[in-house]
Structure 1
Amino acid sequence: MTTDQIEAAYQTEIKQADTDHHTPTAGAMAGHIVANLNVHITKLHQAKWFLKGPASAAIKPLYTTLIARARQTYDDLADVLLDEGQLPPSTTAEYKTYAMLDEDGRLKYHDTETVLTATIKDYNTQNLFVTRAITLAKKESRPAMAAYLTQIFGENNHAVRLLEDALGHGIDKPE
């Protein structure tokens, strides 16, 4: 492609992204999920690196697992978008624009319970986008995208359960 062709293709992409985000599509919602995952991976690292206290040694391996799963989901969802003829966000500027997870460098100084609770909140925020994207994918007749998004929803719920268990908030068993 020539420089002019590249510029024209990029301007078309920007225009389409703007249109998609004003009239939400499954691809646009999935783009938000990709952007959220990019931020989430960084936040999971922050949590793992700075957890402290007696429970931190037992919880850090969970964060290692969550990081690996988030990285895989990030790559796999981008592939699903590409398979559907959609363009996932791919620049830091796009991640800043489309991500809805907030970062805070102060979190590293908080106790383990606060960090775990913040991670749970992030999964719940992500699920808001995931459920909306599932609905849109079904409406747009994108069964492969809907299926993968449904898998993400289940994995996020599983992560929340594990984090809740680490907080001691699991389901009480009858005596």
Structure 2
Amino acid sequence: MTLTASDQWQAEQSQVDHDHHVPTAGAMTGHVLANLTIHSQKLRQLVGSVKGLESRTLSMLFLEQEQAEHDWVNRISRVMSDMGEAIPTTTAEFQCYTMLEEDGALKFESTANQLSVVVNDLVTQTLFVTRAIKLAEREGQSCLELTLKELDGWLRHQIRVYQQIRGQSVKEAMDEDDED
């Protein structure tokens, strides 16, 4: 019996729902992909709204990071596909799996507040990446584990870059998140 496209979609969603309750490395990586996707959209929002003396520099930095996050989504999605894992691909899935908050008013916030949101989002992303790394290690998914470890390093570098702009340390960013 051949399943219809709709039946296949429903079967995939049932498996994804099950995997999120276990959780598995694939399910946790779905959260990572959703966070990257939503964050890249937030960066795109900020590109045209950042103000002040640093606006050109920050706009370029946001654009570079947005493109890099897009590249990470593609790279991780390829690894997930190679493993036979389901990958979030719809807007509804991204909205369901992200742990980042969107707010259209962000583009009207001060540059300092915008940078604070970017850093907090990056810290949140590292939390999900480190969870996914542990699950991938436990499940023996070495390729996924390695890719996620590289992403973790890249995210932590981004935190340092933004914290330097803010005149703060990486430790201060991580401490801020612990207080939330």
How far 1:9 moved relative to its partner?
A: 1.5
Hey, what does 2:41 align to over in structure 1? 42
Once residues 156 and 85 of structure 2 are traced to their aligned partners in structure 1, the CA distance between those partners, rounded to angstroms, is 26
The equivalent of 1:113 in structure 2 is: 112
* Counterpart mapping for 1:1-175 below 5 A: 4-170=3-169
| TM-score of the aligned structures, taking structure 1 as reference length | 0.92
Choose 151-160 or 161-170, whichever is displaced more. 161-170
Residue 77 of structure 1: how far off its partner (Å): 0.8
1:21 is paired with a residue whose SS is helix
Please, which runs of 5 or more residues in structure 2 have no aligned partner? 171-180
Which of structure 1's runs of 4+ aligned residues deviate more than 4 A? none
What is the distance in 2 between the residues matched to 1:162 and 1:77? 23
Q: What is the alpha-carbon distance in structure 1 between the residues aligned to residue 163 and residue 53 of structure 2? A: 17
Instruction: Give the deviation of 1:7 after TM superposition.
Output: 2.4
Query: Match of 1:79, as an amino acid?
Result: R
- Cα offset, 1:65, TM superposition: 1.2
Percent identity between matched residues is: 38
TM-score, normalized by length of structure 2? Answer: 0.90
Where structure 1 has 5 or more consecutive residues not aligned to the other structure, the ranges are none
C-alpha RMSD over aligned residues: 1.5
Alpha-carbon contact 1:40-1:101 (below 8 Å) kept? yes
Measured in 2, the distance between the counterparts of 1:30 and 1:13 equals 16
CA contact (8 A) 1:131 1:153 kept: yes
CA contact (8 A) 1:41 1:71 kept: yes
In the TM superposition, residue 170 of structure 1 has moved relative to its aligned partner by 4.9
Flag the 1:96–1:170 CA change in 2: closer, same or farther, 3 A. closer
Distance in 1 of aligned mates of 2:140 and 2:18: 19
State the Cα deviation string for residues 56-86 of structure 1 (Å, max 9, x = none): 1222211121111101001111111101110
Counterpart amino acid of 1:145? L
Q: Secondary structure in 2 aligned to 1:50? A: coil
Return the alpha-carbon distance in structure 1 between the equivalents of residues 169 and 126 of structure 2.
Answer: 20
CA contact (8 A) 1:59 1:166 kept: no
| Aligned-partner residue type, residue 42 of structure 1 | Q
- Deviation digits for residues 74-128 of structure 1, max 9, x if unmatched? 1111111101110110111111111111000111111111101100000111111
Q: Deviations over 1:117-165 (max 9, x none)?
A: 1000001111111000000000000000000000000000000111111
Kept in 2: contact 1:35–1:89 (CA 8 A): yes
Give the aligned length.
Answer: 170
| Alignment partners' CA distance in 2, 1:11 and 1:103 | 28
